[in-house]
Amino acid sequence: MHGAAYARRDVVKTPTPLHPRLSRRAAARWCAAALCVAAVVPFVACDRARDDRAEVEFWTLSLSPMFDSFVRGRIEAFEAENPGVRVRWIDVPYDALERKLIAAAAAGRAPDVVNMPDLNFARFVSLGAFRALDDCLPGGSDERYLPGALALCRVRGGLMALPWYVNPQARIVNTALLKKGGLDVDSVARDWRGLAKQAKDFHAATGAYLFSQPLGEESQLPIMLFAEGLSPLRPGAEGALEPSLATPEISAYLADFVRLYREGALPRDAATRGHAHLTEMFQDGKVAVISTGPNFVKRIRDVSPTVYASTQVLPGAVGALNRVHLPVMVLAVTGQSRRPTEAAALAWFMTGPESQTEFCKHAAIMPSSTGSLSDPFFATPTARAGEDEKLLQARAVAAGTLADAAAFTASVETWPDLRRAFEDEFKRVLLDGADLDESLRRIETHWGSILRAAPPVGIDALPTREPVRAAGEAGRS
Amino acid sequence: MTPLRRHHPLTPYLFLAPAMGVLGVFFLIATLQVVYFSLTRYTAFQGPVFIGLENYRRALASERFWLCLANSGLYLLVTPAIIAASLCAALVVESLARAGKWLRILLFLPVVTPTVVAALAWRLVFNEDSGVLNTALRALGLPAVAWLSAHPWTLVSAMTVTLWKGFGFFMMVFLAGLASVPRELREAAAIDGAGRWGVFRSVTLPALAPSIVLVFVVSSIAALKVFDELFVMVKGAGITNQTVVPLLYRIAFEEGDYGLSCAVGLLLFVVILIFSLVNLRLSRARAEEGGGAA
């Protein structure tokens, strides 16, 4: 009782604490501090809001962290030239691009400018992802870019993107492994048919693979067919395209690869995995020749020094047309962009000669800008700090290849659907033992239905035989 | 005695409102949206445009839909395997005293393992060049099997993961069912001369019928909706090795065709609904038969 009475008296004398460990005075102090913070926040927010520049979101593909300084430098230069625009740069992993872009668009938050490889580009055009750029560019595009690269960006007459850098394919070879199989850089074939001929004996002698290519997943075969001069599409009536896959020539060409695969002279991953299996197997010393961008040697140097010691970069593998395939990266402005003019200006700036030349000095790639090619750097590529003779060799191969390289990707909105239909059926041939000719007929029927359902695109949509530097109207495959 | 207070007639609805609200927003509205989108041409970049039943026509006319549906049907074979494995495990666990506790924990571990992790681990086992299985087959002089790339082995390897991951959960269901089987019945049957098998067949199994129906319905619905195992293990093997849900994913997130994807999803919903209704009706009829006989 006494205790309780004492406590009651105590309550009268001193204010009741809100909490055993928090006196009223302390609580008041905290409240005052919170009020101060609340009072300051609007000013900070106002300070941020004062940056009333238009924000443009720019997505690139797997350029960070290797090319951070280049991209940030160009963005700063663009912002200096366009004081009313602020660029928000986001780098997206290559494999995640489709999913991330679709998810962002579904949420109504697609970026303003997006970097796309030529293979995915047409798919997104068909989904209505991009805005035609013809009316919002500050200058003419015809003279500014290599004709073959620009042709890829035109879909049914509309300029749906601007070509950025191009990545001429090189053969990266493991000379030590070649030697085990009795080959060297001079005797290893340069064309796909030749490589296919050498592959079986090489595998028998070494247990490793002479080469590999994605045949099923992310199949390169349609592109190789164009490179071979065996176009799987032909012009039909009224500007429409028709499939021409079930021909004896195409069947014979594909049969070589099917036979090699079934005999085990090509790795199983060739059917089930895309480009990634090439680089992984090369790094592991399991394949002697791969066709990829010359820039890949940097990665070999970093992750596999032993293989790097016997790595050489040779001009890319070719088909009967003797042209190396040239994948093109493009920059497109999305239809959801709220700042299309500023977005187009950014794409224009990034694909301009100055930006492209600088980019090429950072990586073994080539520009699609005609203005860049007159830069002395491309006549005699020079190594940058930290680059050795192999990287210089990669640059030289990239530069030397461009004169004869051709872009064998069709500029057709339905191209991704056609490829997917091809891949699904060709996997059946490779993995389930389906008959090749029967499968080619089935693909042709499927392609026919896809092409009939799509608006006609005209013969210009097909890749040309001409080098990308001079591709014109003549010489369609 | 205090008289009962009269409730306002809306009071029960007030209590139901939060749950109804959540269900309405996250289930009912979403379902109605899917139905609507399935009747439209709708991509990630262009809003829905009504096209009637065109998506259903496209889905039903496409060969890949039927191939994937057939694979979904094949995948149902995992259900009897799961029932058998989980029932056996439950019987073993129940028969062991102290060790049963530990065994129960051990067998339940796969259930709490993320499916993606399990599938990646099993991918190593099924690896066609260096996996344990093919190495063993070669050692026995047998040809290697294309577990991850050729139909129907692709389904077999994915089903193995489903079985491995799922049977621990269903074992717990059967253990709960076994706990409700009166011990006296089993003892009486044993005294009457029934052997172990006889007790199991005539007493335990009939008593477990409700649990078996539950496991059958739940595991078959899960089998029809399987995604992770196939997506992780056999993605590169092509669409002919996939079931309907991976197809649906591909149409939505790789091809960007939401309208068609919604139509495929609803077709799968109809298949699952019919399957479940038939299942329940059959099991009810069997239960009534059993009841009549009793």
Q: CA torsion angle for B134, B135, B137, B141 (degrees, to 10)?
A: 130
Report percent pLDDT > 90 for chain A: 51
Tell me how far apart the alpha carbons of residues A426 and A270 are, in angstroms, rounded to a whole number. Answer: 12
Report which of residues B255 and B79 the model is more confident about: B79
Provide ipTM, 2 decimals.
0.71
Contact B150 A110 (CB under 8 A): no
Q: What is the pLDDT of residue B182?
A: 85
* Distances A270 to A139, A209, A281 between C-alpha atoms, Å: 44, 11, 11
CA dihedral A392, A393, A398, A400 (to 10 degrees): 120
User: Across the interface, which of A127, A268, A420 has its CB nearest the CB of B128?
Assistant: A268
What does A346-385 look like in DSSP terms, one character per residue? HHHHHTSHHHHHHHHHHSS-B-SBHHHHTSHHHHS--PPT
Residue A228 or residue A142, greater confidence = A228
Q: Which helix (H) or strand (E) holds A144?
A: none
Residue A54 CA to residue A66 CA, distance in Å, equals 28
CA distance linking residue A148 with residue A166, whole number of Å: 11
DSSP-based helix, strand, coil % in chain A, nearest 5: 50, 15, 35
Instruction: Spell out which residues of chain B touch residue A123, defining contact as CB-CB under 8 Å.
Output: 255-256
| Structure-model confidence comparison of residues A30 and A396, the more confident one | A396
Residue A5 confidence (pLDDT):
42
Are A459 and A236 in contact by the 8 Å Cβ rule? The answer is: no
Integer CA distances (angstroms), B20 to B7, B27, B35, in order: 20, 10, 20
pLDDT of residue A472: 43
The CA distance from B206 to B186, in Å, is 12
Q: Give yes or no for a contact between A223 and A409, defined as CB atoms under 8 angstroms apart.
A: yes
Whether the CB of B34 is below 8 Å from some CB of chain A: the reply is no
**Angle formed at CA A302 by CA A296 and CA A305, multiple of 5 degrees:** 100
User: B253 in contact with A at a CB cutoff of 8 Å?
Assistant: yes
Tens digit of pLDDT for each residue in A129-179? Answer: 999 998 888 888 888 998 888 888 988 788 999 999 998 889 999 999 999
pLDDT tens digit sequence for B220-237: 999 999 999 999 888 888
**Structure confidence at residue B293 (pLDDT):** 40
Q: Which helix (H) or strand (E) segment is A172 a member of?
A: strand A170-174
| Cβ-count burial A58-89 (b if 16+ within 10 Å, e if not) | bbbbebeebbeebbeebbeebbeebeebbbeb
Cβ-based burial of A135 (10 A; exposed 0-12, middle 13-18, buried ≥19):
exposed
**Confidence grade of residue A23 (pLDDT, cut at 50, 70, 90):** low
Nearest chain B alpha carbon to A273: B236
% chain B with pLDDT above 90: 56
Q: What are the residue boundaries of the structural domains of chain B, listed by start?
A: 32-61+257-294, 75-241
- The Cα of B243 is separated from the nearest Cα of chain A by a number of Å equal to 14
Cα distances from A112 to residues A109, A115, A135, A335, A411, in angstroms, run 9, 10, 16, 8, 22
Residues contacting B55, CB < 8 A, separation 6+: B38, B39, B40, B41, B259, B260, B262, B263
> Cβ of B148 and A423 within 8 Å?
no
Partner-chain contact B253 A431, CB within 8 Å? no
Smallest CA–CA separation between B255 and chain A, in Å?
8
State whether residue B43 is helix, strand or coil.
strand
Partners of B149 on chain A (C-beta within 8 Å) are 268, 271-272, 431
Closest-CA residue to A260 (of A177, A355, A307, A192): A192
Q: What would the two tokens of residue B278 be?
A: 């038939």
Measured between CA atoms, the residue of chain A closest to residue B145 is A431
- DSSP state at residue A191: B
Minimal-distance CA residue of chain A relative to B44? A106
Give the one of B46, B150, B236 whose C-beta lies nearest to A432's C-beta: B150
* The residue type at A319: G
CB–CB contact B129 A272 (8 Å): no
Do the bridges between strand A54-61 and strand A85-92 make them parallel or antiparallel, or are there none, so unpaired? parallel
The answer to whether the bond into A65 is cis (omega within 30° of 0) is yes
Q: How confident is the model at residue A442 (pLDDT cuts 50, 70, 90)?
A: very high
Residue A209 β-bridge partners: A287
A467 has pLDDT over 90: no
Give the mean model confidence (pLDDT) for residues B265-282. 90
Biggest CA–CA distance in chain B, Å, is 87
pTM higher than 0.80 for the full model?
no
Greater model confidence, A34 or A22? A34
Mean predicted confidence (pLDDT) in B18-41:
92
Question: Mean pLDDT, to the nearest integer, of B93-105?
Answer: 87
Query: Is a pLDDT exceeding 70 seen at residue A468?
Result: no
- B143 at the A interface (CB within 8 A)? no
pLDDT: is B93 or A465 the higher one? B93
Q: Is B202 on the interface with A (CB under 8 A)?
A: no
Look at A8-22, B38-52, B116-130 and tell me which has the smallest mean pLDDT: A8-22
Residue B219: name the closest of B105, B118, B45, B84 by CA.
B84
pLDDT computed for residue A2 by the predictor = 44
Residues 6+ apart with CB under 8 A from A190: A171, A314, A315, A317, A318
What confidence category does residue A13 fall into, taking pLDDT thresholds of 50, 70 and 90?
Answer: very low
Model pLDDT, residue B96:
87
Instruction: Find chain A residues with C-beta within 8 A of B238's C-beta.
Output: 216-217, 423-424, 427-428, 431
Q: In the beta sheet, which residues pair with residue A334?
A: A130
Taking an 8 Å cut-off on Cβ atoms, the answer to whether A105 and B44 are in contact is: yes
d(CA A298, CA A316): 17
What mean pLDDT do residues B8-28 have? 89
Is there a contact between B237 and A272 if contact means CB atoms under 8 Å apart?
yes
Phi, psi (rounded to 5 degrees) for A314: -120, 160
Under an 8 A CB cutoff, do B238 and A128 touch?
no
Of residues A16 and A351, the one with the higher pLDDT is A351
> Tens digit of pLDDT for each residue in A258-297?
999 999 999 989 998 888 899 999 999 999 999 998 888 8
Which one-letter amino acid corresponds to residue B85? A
Closest Cβ opposite residue B236 in set A102, A123, A273: A273
pLDDT of A41 higher than 80: no
Q: Which of A360, A366, A350 is nearest to A166 (CA)?
A: A366
Which domains does chain A possess? 54-167+326-402 (3.40.190.10), 170-324+414-454 (3.40.190.10)
- State the nearest Cα–Cα gap between A34 and chain B, in angstroms: 34
The answer to whether the CB atoms of B149 and A271 lie below 8 A apart is: yes
Task: Decide: A330 and A153 in contact? Cβ < 8 Å.
Answer: yes
Strand blocks (E) in A238-283: 241-243
Provide the sign of the torsion angle of the four alpha carbons B184, B185, B186, B192, taken in this order.
positive
A336 vs B45: CB contact, 8 Å cut-off? yes
B258 touching A (Cβ < 8 Å): yes
Residue of A nearest to B234 (CA): A272
A102, A126, A336: best to mutate for the B interface, most B CBs within 10 A:
A102
Cβ separation of A427 and B237 shorter than 8 Å?
Answer: yes
Distance (Å) from the alpha carbon of A432 to chain B's nearest alpha carbon: 6
CATH code for the structural domain at B75-241: 1.10.3720.10
d(Cα A68, Cα A65) in Å, to the nearest integer?
5
Q: Examine the pLDDT at A375 and tell me if it is beyond 80.
A: yes
Of residues B61, B230, B238, the one with CA closest to residue A420: B238
Interface of A with B (CB under 8 A): 98-99, 101-103, 105-106, 110, 123-124, 127-129, 216-217, 268-269, 271-274, 334-336, 417, 420, 423-424, 427-428, 431-432
Paired with B260 in beta bridges are none
pLDDT band at A46 (very low <50, low <70, confident <90, very high): very low
Q: Which residue of A has its CA nearest to B255?
A: A123
B45 contacts chain A (CB < 8 A): yes
A96: part of which helix (H) or strand (E)?
none
Tokens 């080539």 belong to which residue? A366
Q: How far apart are CA A438 and CA A444, in angstroms?
A: 10
Report which listed range, A99-103, A415-419, B37-41, is most confident. Answer: B37-41
Mean pLDDT of chain A: 85
B256 interaction partners in chain A (CB closer than 8 Å): 98, 102, 123-124, 127
CB atoms A272 and B46 under 8 Å: no
- Whole-number Å distance between alpha carbons of A214 and A281: 12
* First-residue to last-residue Cα distance in chain B: 48
How far is the C-alpha of A429 from the C-alpha of B289, rounded, in Å?
Answer: 51
CB contact under 8 A, A423 and B238: yes
The reply to whether residue B128 touches residue A110, judged by beta carbons under 8 angstroms, is no
Helix (H) or strand (E) holding A319: none
Question: What does the DSSP 8-state code read for residue B24?
Answer: I
- B127-174 pLDDT, tens digit each: 888 899 999 999 999 998 989 988 899 999 999 999 999 999 999 999
